[in-house]
Amino acid sequence: MSGSTLYDKIWDAHVVAERDDGMTLLYIDRHLLHEVTSPQAFDGLRAAARPPWRLGANLATPDHNVPTSPAERAAGVAGIADATSRLQVQTLDANCEDFGIEEFAINDPRQGIVHVVGPEQGATLPGMTIVCGDSHTSTHGAFAALAQGIGTSEVEHVLATQCLALRKSRNMRIFLDGALPAGVFSKDLALAVIGAVGTAGGTGHVIEFAGEAIRALSMEGRMTVCNLAVEAGARAGLVAVDDVTLNYVSGRPLAPSGAAWDAAQASWRGLRSDADAVFDKEARLDADSIAPQVTWGTSPEMVADIGATVPNPDDADGAVRANAVAAALQYMDLKAGQRLAGTPIDKVFIGSCTNARIEDLRVAAAIARGGRARAKTLVVPGSGLVKRQAEAEGLHEIFLAAGFEWREPGCSMCLGMNDDRLQAGERCASTSNRNFEGRQGHGGRTHLVSPATAAASALAGCLADPREQL
């Protein structure tokens, strides 16, 4: 018999029962909540008079709707100008209070984007099953945790039963060989993977990222890669445990310590695929040949090297694809054959659960240092703790000196549920994860890039290759 994959191992360790309807009940170790996808789930619990199964499994923080301007934040929840946003954040506060769920509320220094907060607190630990009503829960897979996004009915299901009724996905592995060149980052690697396998390439699968280039990444870099696994269609991404993982986890507030740490570490070391494990699907990419990436269309798979030109719909494979390319170019106001680098931009967004960790801000600051923004640029740290760390390192001063705006933590312009959004027709270089039509604001045009490319583009006022500024 062949060995087990990392996914098989975590799955097997969490099977509670097979339900009569053929679904597997998988035990959920950690449940993260935010204000947008939870209110209807709490209502459901109340209506059925069901208590949460295990309170301690849950951790909540508002992120999608919170304003990021220091002035608006100063007054806390009451200061949220948009009444519907305010109500949603208040509803989360009230639900957490009613049910006794721990919440990092709006101006708690630990508040932030839920996928930044979990790892930072050690709420995300190797070998765990983790869910959240948000598709980018895949981020936590960087810790060899089986982490996936769920819908609101499932949020209620997990609250009430601590289980999720699932069918097992298939196993996929993507090898990233070699080493990333200077000026090329984990975001570029992830976008290149999506470009290669497509946005449906991982559908029905859990993707394990392996190979030299992955091992060489920091935890921040691995989180960026797993964050984008969902944009490749997979429900979850995974990276095996190694010293990098353990060093990151060690000492986090919710991580085990002392004798418990020794036991945990011994158990976590086994969180890797067996050498003879068989995968249903495999792909391989060479990291050495990856250049800074920039999306040109309205789906993350519509991506190219920063030095490339915009593709021609006539060259697309089949009519459906050609139509999609043509529609994307029209929406993005780009012409086939036009060079991507040099395309003027109106705004730059450095933030989101993809790229708002301390390492991302350090890279952006290294490029911003001494320069001057030629486009309105927002830097939004992923959490209050990231913000503090950045300020301790003086990064905010570099940003401010370069004319970038330094904001309070939240999702911000990743999806524009608060005031940070694009106006119709505006073009943005963004470190977020989705370039869908209207994602950053009605009629807004998004180019997904790495923090380095975003900072370089901010200084240039147009899409720019960061390697020229390093």
- Tally of CA atoms within 13 A in the half-sphere of 334 that contains its CB: 31
Angle among Cα 358, 363, 368 to the nearest 5 degrees reads 115
Check binding of 353 to ligand SF4 (CB under 6 A).
Answer: yes
Q: Cβ distance 238 to 6 under 8 Å?
A: yes
End-to-end Cα separation, the chain, in angstroms? 50
Site string for ligand SF4, 105-124 (x = CB under 6 A): --------x-x---------
Check binding of 48 to another protein (CB under 8 A).
Answer: yes
Q: Which does 37 bind (CB under 5 to 8 A by kind): another protein, ligand SF4, none?
A: another protein
Check binding of 33 to ligand SF4 (CB under 6 A).
Answer: no
Check binding of 136 to ligand SF4 (CB under 6 A).
Answer: yes
Question: Of 52 and 371, which has the nearer Cβ to another protein?
Answer: 52
Q: Could you tell me the two tokens for 121?
A: 């607190």
Check binding of 439 to ligand SF4 (CB under 6 A).
Answer: no
Q: Of 62, 149, 381, 409, which one interacts with another protein (CB under 8 A)?
A: 149
| 232 CB-contact burial (10 Å; exposed 0-12 / middle 13-18 / buried 19+) | buried
State the amino acid at position 134 in one-letter form: D
# binding residues, ligand SF4 (CB under 6 A): 13
Smallest gap from Cβ 137 to ligand SF4, in A, equals 9
Question: Of 4 and 227, which has the nearer Cβ to ligand SF4?
Answer: 227
Q: Which does 352 bind (CB under 5 to 8 A by kind): ligand SF4, another protein, none?
A: ligand SF4
Q: Of 3, 100, 109, 151, which one interacts with another protein (CB under 8 A)?
A: 151
Do the bridges between strand 303-305 and strand 293-295 make them parallel or antiparallel, or are there none, so unpaired? Answer: antiparallel
# binding residues, another protein (CB under 8 A): 85
Check binding of 237 to another protein (CB under 8 A).
Answer: no
Smallest gap from Cβ 34 to another protein, in A, equals 11
Q: Which does 338 bind (CB under 5 to 8 A by kind): ligand SF4, another protein, none?
A: none
Nearest Cα residue to 162 out of 23, 40, 31: 31
Check binding of 64 to ligand SF4 (CB under 6 A).
Answer: yes
* Dist CA 129 CA 134 (whole Å): 15
What DSSP assignment string belongs to 213-278? HHHTS-HHHHHHHHHGGGGGT-SEEE----HHHHHHHTT-TTS--HHHHHHHHHHHTT-S--TT--
Q: Cβ distance 337 to 313 under 8 Å?
A: no
Q: Of 327, 336, 389, 419, which one interacts with another protein (CB under 8 A)?
A: 327
- Tally of CA atoms within 13 A in the half-sphere of 12 that contains its CB: 8
* Dist CA 45 CA 345 (whole Å): 46
Give the binding range for another protein (CB under 8 A) out of 58-66, 213-221, 337-345, 456-464. Answer: 58-66
Smallest gap from Cβ 410 to ligand SF4, in A, equals 8
Q: Of 414, 428, 449, 460, which one interacts with ligand SF4 (CB under 6 A)?
A: 414
The DSSP output letter for 370 is T
Smallest gap from Cβ 171 to another protein, in A, equals 15
Check binding of 251 to another protein (CB under 8 A).
Answer: no
Check binding of 333 to another protein (CB under 8 A).
Answer: no
